[in-house]
Structure 1
Amino acid sequence: MNCRLGCGACCIAPSISTPIPGMPGGKPAGVRCVQLNSENLCLLFGSESRPAVCGGFQAEVDICGETSEEALINITALEQATN
């Protein structure tokens, strides 16, 4: 599956423990990444300063569902299940 442009669920739902430019302590779950623009696109996409965990995320139907709302629900549930 290709990532849905403008979804942003993977930049909101999960926690990120590594530093992100503008978020040196990482990002808590459910908090919008400061690098996500108003169109829900990553400002660090393709940059070396993008965290490896972000670059490693692969969109999959089982995780991302059919809509951005479904993706946010699914990724939030995965985050809660792994804590």
Structure 2
Amino acid sequence: MQCRENCGACCIAPSITSLNKPAGERCKHLDQQNRCDIFGTEQRPKACADFAPEEEFCGQSREEALQILTILESSTH
């Protein structure tokens, strides 16, 4: 599966500890088109680089991806 255009759910729903980003907040590296400004650079956290889009996490829409990832985030606490 390819990343969905203008989604960014994986940069909003989960916490990203290495960036001090709480769950549910936009990552500071997410641009206005919901693309990562540090994609492919050394600054990109390993957790982000290891995340691959899959239907089970991304669902059928941006809204569904946000719901799924929010549920997964809350279930890991």
Q: Specify the TM-score bucket, using the shorter chain as the normaliser.
A: over 0.9
Q: Which residue of 2 aligns with 1:22?
A: none
Q: 1:79 aligns with which of 64, 69, 73?
A: 73
What are the ranges of 5 or more consecutive residues in structure 2 without an aligned counterpart? none
The structure with the largest helix share of the pair is 2
Alpha-carbon distance, 1:5 to partner: 2.3
Q: Which residue of 1 aligns with 2:9?
A: 9
Task: State the distance in 2 between where 1:63 and 1:34 align.
Answer: 22
Counterpart secondary structure, 1:43: coil
Q: Which residue of 2 aligns with 1:54?
A: 48
Alpha-carbon distance, 1:3 to partner: 1.1
Q: Runs of 4 or more off by more than 6 Å in structure 1?
A: none
TM-score, normalization by structure 2: 0.96
Count matched residues: 77
Task: State the distance in 1 between where 2:23 and 2:6 align.
Answer: 19
TM-score, normalization by structure 1: 0.89
Q: Deviations over 1:10-54 (max 9, x none)?
A: 0000001113xxxxxx10000100100011000001111111100
Task: State the distance in 2 between where 1:5 and 1:49 align.
Answer: 22
